[in-house]
Structure 1
Amino acid sequence: MRPSDQEAPAMRAVTMPVTSPGQLPLSKQLKAGTRRDHDSVDTLVMQSRPFDSLERYGCFLRLQHRFHGSIGALYDDTELNRLLPGLSELPRFDAVCADITDLGLPLPPTPSAIAPTSIYAALGWLYCSEGSNLGAAFLFKHTRQIGMSAEKGARHLAAHPDGRGLHWHQFVALLDGLALSESQCEEAVSGAVAAFDCYREALRDVFPAT
């Protein structure tokens, strides 16, 4: 899952007080609170054998289309862009659509937008989405086995020219620069768990049983 081919924005942390003393940075709370969900989704993806054939890879692209299409509105949200400057330049839905077209497959209907329970829960959904780009390096390598590349069929998995790590550290710096209460951080973690649940449900629906 990767950002569009636009140049990555020069993201910078918003200048505001950090979380209360003794409270872990938001990114650490999100990581700890979703570790089991993250591992479960990773396992399910590989068990689905998305790189065994172009047919199964097409299923994977439909999965990506469903997830990224459902969260597209979050990247354009005014309040979220105030909290996370440069967010509007990061969605990967258009790249997923281009990858589907590369395979000669029809584009599925754009999925309904998800509705996080709060702006803080939305931060958790975005953490799930942007974090997946860091782990996509492993998936991108596998696409070469079926003839895909950053120019054809695997645009949304390819790294930005500036590198995955830099982009991720910039995004994390923005999250950790937010002044959130303990309950707001808990909402963010709940949102990230909901995002993993959504992806897991879509995966089971999109992929054939065998």
Structure 2
Amino acid sequence: MNTTLQTPAETGPEIGAGSGSEVGRAKRLKAATTQAHDQLDKRIMAGEPFAALANYGRFLAVQHAFHRDIDALYDDPAIAALVPDLAERRRFAQIGQDLADLSLAPAEQTEAPRFAGGEIDVPTALGWLYVAEGSNLGAAFLFKMARALGLDENHGARHLAGHPDGRAQHWRSFTGALDEVALDEAEEMRVIEGANAAFRRVHGLVEQQYG
């Protein structure tokens, strides 16, 4: 089962590399983050985030903190030059609206966002965005569970709603762009490290809310 903060471990459509590689970067990232993905998946679902509105509120708090960390990436011109429709992929404001719909305030954060101010390392940022974008594809199942709580794309579950073009197409657009980015070996490693760091960050946020 895939949660909305994870990349799709088994069912996510991915495409091959466009830079002559036999295996695309998205597929390599999937292989390199499988363990972190599986651990996070089990931990989130153990908290039963859709068992009740109170549980879902904790889930929203996790989402809000994670997307707060990466919100600055959607304004970065270097990343925007690589990822199509980057600004449209932003979900931080929607999560804030979902919290407000349920009369909830964002959890207090004492630390600055992971990406805030200063120069952003693009390969690291791409790893974090891979996790965020994969979560949007994996949110289809969770959106159905949110509906069982009386939530939808207009109230409480805005950030879980699919893209007008379809989740799969939106994901293919991202992975296609990701596969085409020219990186050296050291930069490739920073993409993987970034993705794993994103998974660790979410795991820590889940422990704060459900631990």
Paired residue for 2:26?
27
Distance 1:18 1:162 in 2: 22
Q: 1:93 to 1:138 in 2, by over 3 A?
A: same
Aligned-pair identity in percent equals: 41
Alignment of 1:181-196 (within 5 A): 181-196=184-199
Distance 1:22 1:76 in 2: 29
What TM-score comes out, normalization by structure 1 length?
A: 0.85
Selected match of 2:202 from 196, 199, 202: 199
Deviation at 1:97, TM superposition (A): 0.5
Distance 2:209 2:51 in 1: 16
Gaps of 5+ in 2: 6-16
1:152 aligns with 2:155: yes
Distance 1:85 1:158 in 2: 19
1:121 aligns with 2:124: yes
Deviation at 1:185, TM superposition (A): 1.2
The range that moved more, 143-152 or 168-177, is 143-152
- Matched-pair contact (CA < 8 Å) for 1:18–1:179: no
Paired residue for 2:170?
167
Gaps of 5+ in 1: 3-16
Deviations 1:11-36 (A, max 9, x none): xxxxxx954x5553211111111111
Distance 2:179 2:21 in 1: 14
Paired residue for 1:104?
103
SS of corresponding position for 1:71: helix
- Matched-pair contact (CA < 8 Å) for 2:84–2:173: no
The range that moved more, 115-124 or 155-164, is 115-124
Q: 1:73 to 1:117 in 2, by over 3 A?
A: closer
Alignment of 1:61-140 (within 5 A): 61-109=60-108, 112-115=112-115, 118-140=121-143
Deviations 1:163-209 (A, max 9, x none): 100100000110011111222111101100000000000110112x4
CA-atom RMSD in angstroms: 2.1
Aligned residues: 193
Paired residue for 1:6?
none
The range that moved more, 77-86 or 126-135, is 77-86
Paired residue for 1:10?
none
Distance 1:203 1:109 in 2: 14
Point out 4+ residue stretches in structure 1 off by more than 2 angstroms. 21-24, 106-112, 115-118
Distance 1:56 1:138 in 2: 17
Paired residue for 1:53?
52
